[in-house]
Amino acid sequence: MGIINIVENIKKIHEDYIVFIHVGNFYYCYGRDSYILSYLFNYKINILKNEIYSCSFPSSVLARILNQLENKKISYIILDKRHNYEVDDKQNFKNLNTYQKYYEKGKEKFSTKMRIEKIYQYLLENMDDKTFITEVEEKIHERRKI
């Protein structure tokens, strides 16, 4: 069974938990959990095949990540691939869990970043159109006026 399937099965039981998978010297999370990590720690979200989102960080920063999640009362579970996805650690904040709140914030931030990326790509594709670039600059300048 692949990692994605493992995460999907765990999420059926622990829907509002960030699920970390320990693989080698990194921790990975997938799907909705990626939005939260990207939002809180500014980690890049990778888009895998089949539009699955992924986020990762080195093992050396795990304590800092968990400390921040505990401060924000976000429930999490850590699974270790080496030990057949056995639970290494788990924190459940029950009714105080703010997973959904940070998921919404992370999703919004990622959506905005994707919109900006599309605009950037469009500008790159049209960089030879000096009139267009000038119009864009003027529009930006208009917004800066007080």
| Three-state secondary structure call for residue 92 | coil
DSSP 8-class letter at 131: H
The pTM for the full model equals: 0.86
pLDDT tens figures, 21-40: 999 999 999 999 999 999 99
Torsion of CA 43, 44, 48, 50, to 10 degrees: 90
Interval 35-92: pLDDT, tens: 999 999 999 999 988 889 999 999 999 999 999 999 999 999 999 999 888 999 999 9
Spell out the domain ranges in the chain.
Answer: 1-146
Residue 60 Rama label (left phi>0; alpha psi -120 to 50; beta): alpha
CATH fourth-level superfamily of 1-146 = DNA repair protein MutS, domain I (3.40.1170.10)
* DSSP calls for 8-61: HHHHHH-TTSEEEEEETTEEEEETHHHHHHHHHH-PPPEEEGGGEEEEEEEGGG
